[in-house]
Amino acid sequence: MIVASLLAYAVIRFGYREGDSRSEPAQVYGSNQVEIAWTVIPILIVFVLAMSTARITSAVQDQQVPKDAVNVTVIGHQWWWEFRYTDLKITTANELHVPLSTTAERKLTFLTLKSADVAHGFWVPQLAGKTDVIPNRTNRMWIDPKELGIYLGNCSEYCGTQHANMELRVVVETPEDFEKWVTQQQERAAAPESAENQRAFLSSACIACHTVSGTRALGRTGPDLTHLISRQTLAATEVPNNAATLRDWIKDPQRLKPGNKMPTIKLNDTQLDQMVAYLTTLH
Ligand code: CUA
């Protein structure tokens, strides 16, 4: 609109007037200096940008794993995240704890990404870009979290009906808090407060898929439950983790997350209560 009005104005205002000569105006060739300047300067800018991009890219890709780095194998499952701290001998799910990295004390976390089934994508926007999590292929990435807090992430590659609920959290904590968390996670499962409740759990079908360290529950297809209650959320961060949500989840896992791989196991109210009572002791 503005351009059109200015154009119309120029056509009318500077059009042919009485007394103008009908001959063509003098043809002026531009300026070599100006031509060279506006050709060379953009080339230099592109060159500088390309070089600095190449330098940063190679610095990111060639990052060596420092000795004190935290190494975690991330395994994408339909539809949850498994985190195995290979050196620390910890296995947990959906909530990744990492230490804060400061300029004075740099603490990097290296992630090795694998998939147990289909293609997923590991994406925590505030910490790093997306990295594909592909079956039969190992991808790597690293993070250098500079601020304390909880960072939310989501699977970034469509992987089936519950793709949108394949969420995760990264808990960035002080090195002291991280150490505390590690120590706590390395402990074996708490001794059962009630042998009867534990028996209810250990004689259920749950143990085919879930592990509770130190017991005969050694299943690997579902999340490790050894320190279940230390996690803030349930079902790949969908709901807060407490006795009520846990009970609802076990009673009918398909209600909260239709299509997920956890089968509904027929349990009467007493059995359900025993199961929840046992699981809530797993701090
Ligand atoms: Cu996993 Cu989308």
The mean pLDDT of 96-110, rounded to a whole number, is: 93
For tokens 């009673």, the residue is 251
- What's the pLDDT at 66? 87
How many other CB atoms sit within 10 Å of the CB of residue 103? 6
Q: Nearest CA to 149 among 185, 182, 100? A: 100
Ligand 1 pocket, CB under 6 A: 76, 79, 120, 155, 157-159, 163, 166
Residues above pLDDT 70, as percent of the chain: 100
Residue, of 16 and 109, whose pLDDT is higher? 109
Mean residue pLDDT across the chain: 91
Nearest residue by C-alpha to atom 1 in ligand 1: 120
Distance 129 CA to ligand 1 centre (A): 16
Position 128 confidence tier, pLDDT thresholds 50, 70, 90: very high
Distance 128 CA to ligand 1 centre (A): 17
Distance 112 CA to ligand 1 centre (A): 17
The string of pLDDT tens digits covering residues 172-213 is: 999 999 999 999 989 877 777 778 889 888 988 899 999 998
Residue type, 101: S
Atom of ligand 1 nearest to the CA of 157: 2
Distance 25 CA to ligand 1 centre (A): 68
pTM as predicted = 0.80
Position 153 confidence tier, pLDDT thresholds 50, 70, 90: very high
Q: Nearest CA to 199 among 188, 184, 215? A: 215
Listed range (138-147, 163-172, 238-247) with the worst mean pLDDT: 238-247
Residues above pLDDT 90, as percent of the chain: 59
Residue type, 139: N
Check whether the bond before 79 is cis (ω within 30° of 0): yes
How many other CB atoms sit within 10 Å of the CB of residue 243? 13
